Amino acid sequence: MNNNAILGHKDIIERLYEAVKNQHIASALLFCGPEGIGKKRVALHLAQALNCRQFSARGPCLECASCRKITALNHPEVKIVNKEEKAKNLKIDQIIQLRADISLRPVEAIKKVYIIDDAHILTREASNCLLKTLEEPPLDSLIILVTANPSALLVTIRSRCQKIEFKPLPVKEVKHRLQEKGQLENSQADFLADFAGGSLGLAQTYLEKGILEKKIELDDFLRGINEEDIAVVLTQAQTYGRDKEQAKIWLDLLLYTCVQRFLADPEGLGQGQRQKEKIIDLILRAKRDMTVNVNLQLVLENIFLRMRHA
């Protein structure tokens, strides 16, 4: 991992370098911004900068033993706290372990670094446990909370962290990186970068989940939705709403497709415009209701039936 390998965030990285040089790094940082834009990569890069004995204005050397261990994610005193497999939250036991580790003096590191990924999914008990450490942080350690949803954190936790806000990446840069990584046509890379909202990580995840094939399928279905028999439309709603994780992708894709089509329609006035706004509102409401026990099939049936007359 090196500065050039990190897409975007040049200003943030330069500010962090300056803080490392002047030894003005806070004891706790809050890295917040959209998913998949490189927050955790920057956190690991900062850990390298703090522990590289050849650190300079250009950043960590990336060649010393410490830098290489952090790149390989096997440095004993630079740790990432992730939710356990199949768990929905970061649990108190994980934070208790972090507190035990952080209380020990560093053996190998110049500064121990603990990166809490997806910090917004800390349980209430884990949050309160973490708060005790943030109230009296050890001088030889740094805690970095990484989150796409800072408002879900306790206010008392947010107030004890220095907030660093990451912005979405330029779509053109995401497109360029996607084309570097795979055999994508220009139009495919354009769509994927735009659909992911400037998030390279999300774009790659969508690609792995077959979003390009799904887009073709949805386009074909919507193109003929007015001519399709109602039974076919209802069957499609059942297919799309069967699996909650897949339904989320279908709803995201449906929202994107509808917005693009409606914006491109020069005759979207009067009653027709109100109908289109209602469809967009229904999709947005369905996305919000994903966290509750909503019948996605019925929601999609309602959307598709309205689209037949839009």
pLDDT category of residue 264 using cuts at 50, 70 and 90: low
| pLDDT number for residue 2 | 46
The packing angle between helices 244-263 and 186-195, to 10°, is 110
pLDDT in tens, 186-199: 999 999 999 998 89
Q: What is the pTM of this model?
A: 0.81
Q: Model confidence over 52-85: pLDDT tens digits?
A: 999 998 899 999 999 999 999 999 999 999 999 8
Confirm if 91 and 123 have CB atoms less than 8 A apart: yes
**pLDDT at res. 160:** 96
Q: Looking at residue 3, what is its pLDDT? A: 47
Other Cβ atoms less than 10 A from the Cβ of 190: the count is 16
273-278 contacts: CB < 8 A, separation 24 or more? Answer: 275/306, 275/309, 275/310, 276/310, 278/306
32 Cβ contact list (under 8 Å, min separation 6):
39, 146, 147, 148, 149, 150, 163, 164, 165, 166
d(CA 182, CA 235): 34
Q: Grade residue 4 by pLDDT with cuts at 50, 70 and 90.
A: very low
